[in-house]
Structure 1
């Protein structure tokens, strides 16, 4: 073999090794989960007199779901004289009028509800929450994003945990209003279930740090202030504040048995936009806080889990060189007769990919899914995760280069049922040239597939097919949605011009 060929193989093995470390960590998360799953959190006591609670609803251009959100929050089973609702609306469209009218209706029914509108949107969601906190009356502050529909007993099932003066935040598990809408929403549900059911439970009950997820949680107001308040130098203000609060000594509680249903993005470009924000924000938070975490007098396992949690999206950055190197290394080794050495890939792939399958399989088992329900989406889930690597790699690179970008909201349309059409296309995710890169990688994988078919290297075929399917699906869906939305805008503009001419 030439030095160049040896270098390519070494680089490939190095990438697989690092990915297998992150993949194997999922086994450890599952181990922690099963070790601690029966340590159910219970309140230290119960309030004799319930405390005043402020519920904050940060909203930006949510005309399709804002009524549903406000109605659900105003119907919370909590004494009216102890409940305050803040609609923190930074909207620039009809949402303002819809929200104002809804607030007026509920105020007439005796709810202590206020409409707070900002025109500068400074700090985006973090700025809205900080502004609302200065006006809030409650000792405790719950937050719900626009796509959530909290259950009536949410406050009564969470507030009593604050009888422990060390508890600063209580987070509940997300459920999914439109999980059955499509294969894409099914897979998003599985991804979120893995995060909440396994990761949150494992970290929280083993004594490691975990995070408030930006919504469906309740804070002690003193905790927010004591940790430095809402800050907007990262795109994940929730993750940032969570780690700062726990570094300050506050305890967090996760309640998987309490759920808050929410709407999952139904379109690929909206999903990618959400994933980009989360990936970039987590790396920004890692750069900001990991030095403080490593320097703090914390147990080793807390620091280790913080590292894996905050840097997990680096794995996406490694997926791109893996995709580029995989067909090349197969060709090099087959060309030199290294069929036996090819089998060395299998342990690495078992750690990097089989761990992901078993992790999400376990999360679905824990929420009561049947074996068939757990199995049928696993290949698609794996392909989708691979297909997201270009999108999330870009997010990681932007964070590492300190490239600043605004908080991009995820469009919501109020859809629930399977196959229900999204006819109200007022909100659309931004289209980019990124799908062309994804489609180019899919084409590149096709070349690798043809090679292994010709040389009958059968073991490599499933991996190449997963990469091809993942990049192809994500890229094609993104392009199709972009073309469809562009055509819709063109027809809308033409119709509007015809009305003007008439």
Structure 2
């Protein structure tokens, strides 16, 4: 018998984005048994929109403060085999559930998520994020899946076995999706990346929102490093390898970015030559994956390439907050000089 599934949509002031999300859920070729929207102390029409789309609406007596807490509020109302957590600004492909359900025929699989891309490419920040997603979901994720060690099942569209959520979505870190992905693999269970299941997320349109989101994401990554890395090294060494590589990239990124200036100013090399060498290295590392991604997503290659320059704005933001999170979460927190990031702020 096919596994049953409940969709949980945590929502705080999501009147604008929620209709498209609920319409995409209603259009699934394999429909869920129930759709629950947690209207987490919204001050707009979020609850009315959800009711109008036929969802079961839960209204906590006060703002719960995070996505994980809102999802936990809905868990007692879930009696299905699977739970699909969807962000209130994420749109699923019509066959998302159909594509992702079969992986749970393996009893060891407890969490799975699909390929996430950007819904909009209107601002420079969205255009830069589109390149990050195209590269990450068509290069990093497939390699990690081949090694049976995905770094994260994206929280905007992850499916979980209900029995693994008996203790609730974890609130000990600021990013529950990565925490669950790592902790379940440490427990000997499987997390799976399903490349054919597609979803589109609305990403930050402005720099202030991007900064909030990146700070939360990277702080959460560092919190999970502090919490899980020692055990990953001994129990899940391949996943530990991806984590360590990510940390090394953060540490060495300033060196790579400074190389053209060092060679030009310190070694008096021609500026055009050093910049050409640096740019060539960047393109060699990114273009093949982007060309493949454009082919897989059926995107015009010229449109993808036109967005490449904007990714460096995003990378600059990422690098600043990566170093900040490294210092705060991996140095200051263990020394008792900071409590780390504890307050969940929306990135959009």
Distance 1:202 1:116, change over 3 A: same
Deviation at 1:191, TM superposition (A): 0.5
Deviation at 1:372, TM superposition (A): 3.0
Query: Is the 1:229–1:241 Cα contact (8 Å) retained in structure 2?
Result: no
CA distance, structure 2, for counterparts of residue 76 and residue 65 of structure 1: 18
Query: Partner of 1:104 in structure 2?
Result: 51
CA distance, structure 2, for counterparts of residue 167 and residue 149 of structure 1: 24
Query: Is the 2:90–2:202 Cα contact (8 Å) retained in structure 1?
Result: yes
CA distance, structure 2, for counterparts of residue 404 and residue 124 of structure 1: 13
Q: Of residues 107, 123, 128 in structure 2, which corresponds to 1:187?
A: 128
Give the alignment of 1:367-378 within 5 angstroms: 367-378=297-308
CA displacement, residues 465-491 of structure 1 (integer Å, 9 cap, x when unaligned): xxxxxxxxxxxxxxxxxxxxxxxxxxx
Deviation at 1:249, TM superposition (A): 1.7
Deviation at 1:405, TM superposition (A): 3.2
CA displacement, residues 187-227 of structure 1 (integer Å, 9 cap, x when unaligned): 211101111121111111232233211022211112333xx
Query: Partner of 1:398 in structure 2?
Result: 328
CA distance, structure 1, for counterparts of residue 171 and residue 76 of structure 2: 16
1:410 equivalenced with 2:347 (yes/no):
yes
Distance 1:68 1:353, change over 3 A: closer
SS in 2 for 1:258: strand
Query: Partner of 1:248 in structure 2?
Result: 187
Query: Is the 2:38–2:58 Cα contact (8 Å) retained in structure 1?
Result: yes
Give the alignment of 1:25-64 within 5 angstroms: 49-64=1-16
SS in 2 for 1:149: strand
Q: Of residues 301, 305, 308 in structure 1, which corresponds to 2:245?
A: 308
Bigger Rg over Cα: 1
CA distance, structure 2, for counterparts of residue 366 and residue 295 of structure 1: 36
CA distance, structure 1, for counterparts of residue 16 and residue 306 of structure 2: 32
Q: Of residues 76, 83, 88 in structure 1, which corresponds to 2:33?
A: 83
CA distance, structure 1, for counterparts of residue 152 and residue 62 of structure 2: 28
CA distance, structure 1, for counterparts of residue 262 and residue 99 of structure 2: 56
CA distance, structure 2, for counterparts of residue 89 and residue 205 of structure 1: 38
Query: Partner of 2:60 in structure 1?
Result: 118
Distance 1:74 1:318, change over 3 A: same
Query: Partner of 1:68 in structure 2?
Result: 20
Alignment size in residue pairs: 339
Distance 1:84 1:150, change over 3 A: same
Query: Partner of 2:92 in structure 1?
Result: 150
CA distance, structure 1, for counterparts of residue 258 and residue 274 of structure 2: 19
Greater fraction helix: 1
Deviation at 1:387, TM superposition (A): 5.0
Distance 1:161 1:333, change over 3 A: closer
1:265 equivalenced with 2:204 (yes/no):
yes
1:281 equivalenced with 2:220 (yes/no):
yes
Q: For the aligned residues, what is the CA RMSD?
A: 3.1
Instruction: Extract unaligned runs of 5+ from structure 1.
Output: 1-48, 108-112, 412-502
Deviation at 1:282, TM superposition (A): 0.8
CA distance, structure 1, for counterparts of residue 262 and residue 240 of structure 2: 38
Greater fraction strand: 2
Deviation at 1:283, TM superposition (A): 1.1
SS in 2 for 1:67: helix
Instruction: Extract unaligned runs of 5+ from structure 2.
Output: 334-339
CA displacement, residues 398-450 of structure 1 (integer Å, 9 cap, x when unaligned): 32223233111022xxxxxxxxxxxxxxxxxxxxxxxxxxxxxxxxxxxxxxx
Deviation at 1:75, TM superposition (A): 3.9
CA distance, structure 2, for counterparts of residue 207 and residue 407 of structure 1: 30
SS in 2 for 1:257: strand
